[in-house]
């Protein structure tokens, strides 16, 4: 009963675009889960398959993972291991956004191994959220978590773009990854990748 009530509110909120305006905000939220799970590696993949009309967003981490009972409950909005508030919304909100755009959410997790969250969206669906500012989201997460090896893979099934902190660090010659010039370079680099891979493929990214 309570749950049905929540689902109604969730859908209304999403419909009004009050919380999650774009995919980058979801990405921020799901990556924060990985950080809270003590991940040392977070791998983000965005794949646009024009033939299948499907956008896949995958976030994989090597954090503490979830046991089966938590994993089975995690789509339930009242499940959280946080102590600061009682309701966990990140995963249910992403599931709502995916389902509203003809897609779905999958989560795989293994205790002390890690977690993989995969959301799919029908690219042409009228309710599909736009990508938003992926470069800024990744840059902000890098700036606040310089010990985590973050990697990004973008693909349109014909071309791909790959970025990883561990790769970048080889060329930094001791300059810290959270140096402002390095962060701005990373943001511009990822932005170029997004334009190259998704320009003209996702209608919000000019071709």
Ligand X SMILES: Nc1ncnc2c1ncn2[C@@H]1O[C@H](COP(=O)(O)OP(=O)(O)O)[C@@H](O)[C@H]1O
Which residues of the shown chain bind Mg ion in the complex (CB under 5 A)?
Answer: 33, 90
List the strands of the sheet with 114-122, edge to edge. 105-110, 114-122, 54-61, 41-49, 149-155, 160-164
The tokens describing 147, both together, are 């010990």
Which residue's entry shows tokens 């499907």?
54
Q: Which is nearer to ligand X, 81 or 166 (CB)?
A: 81
Work out which of 48, 57, 74, 202 binds ligand X, going by CB under 6 A.
74
Residue 110 to residue 68: CA distance in whole angstroms: 8
The tokens describing 154, both together, are 């973008």
- Residue 90 lies near ligand X (rule: CB under 6 A): yes
User: Nearest distance from residue 19's CB to ligand X, in Å?
Assistant: 12
199 DSSP assignment? B
CB 205 within 8 A of CB 192: no
- Name the segment binding ligand X (CB under 6 A); options: 4-12, 13-21, 87-95, 189-197: 87-95
Q: Which is nearer to ligand X, 80 or 156 (CB)?
A: 80
Q: Which is nearer to ligand X, 63 or 103 (CB)?
A: 63
In the chain, the N- to C-terminal Cα span, in Å, equals 47
Work out which of 28, 43, 47, 65 binds ligand X, going by CB under 6 A.
65
* DSSP output for 110-142: ETTTEEEEEEEEETT-TTPPP---HHHHHHHHH
Work out which of 46, 55, 57, 64 binds ligand X, going by CB under 6 A.
64
- Residue 43 lies near ligand X (rule: CB under 6 A): no
State which of positions 101-120 bind ligand X (CB under 6 A): 115
- Stretch 146-185: interaction string toward ligand X, x if CB under 6 A: ----------------------------------------
Closest CA to 109 of 149, 69, 138: 69
Q: Which is nearer to ligand X, 64 or 98 (CB)?
A: 64
Work out which of 63, 103, 132, 193 binds ligand X, going by CB under 6 A.
63
User: Nearest distance from residue 200's CB to ligand X, in Å?
Assistant: 33
Give per-residue burial for 40-73: e unless 16+ CB within 10 Å, then b: ebbbbbbbbeeeeebbbbbbbbbbbbbeeeebee
Q: Give the interface with ligand X as residue ranges (CB under 6 A).
A: 33-34, 37, 61, 63-66, 70, 74, 79-82, 88-92, 115
């Amino acid at each position: 009963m309570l749950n049905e009530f929540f689902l109604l509110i969730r859908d209304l909120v999403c419909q009004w675009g009050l919380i999650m305006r774009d995919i980058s905000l979801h990405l921020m939220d799901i990556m924060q889960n990985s950080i809270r799970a003590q991940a040392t590696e977070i791998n983000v993949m965005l794949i646009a398959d024009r033939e299948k009309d499907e956008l896949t967003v995958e976030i994989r981490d090597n954090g503490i993972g979830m046991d089966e009972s938590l994993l089975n409950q995690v789509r339930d909005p009242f499940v959280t291991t946080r102590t600061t508030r009682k309701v966990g919304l990140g995963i249910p909100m992403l599931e709502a956004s995916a389902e509203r755009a003809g897609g779905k959410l999958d989560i795989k997790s293994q205790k002390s191994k890690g977690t993989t969250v995969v959301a799919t969206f029908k690219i042409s669906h009228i309710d599909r959220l736009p990508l938003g500012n992926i470069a800024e989201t990744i840059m902000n997460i890098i700036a606040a978590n310089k010990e985590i090896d973050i990697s990004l893979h973008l693909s349109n099934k014909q071309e791909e773009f790959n970025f990883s902190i561990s790769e970048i660090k080889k060329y930094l010659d001791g300059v810290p990854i959270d140096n402002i010039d390095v962060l701005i370079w990373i943001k511009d680099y990822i932005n170029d990748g997004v334009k190259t891979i998704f320009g003209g493929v996702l209608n919000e990214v000019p071709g």
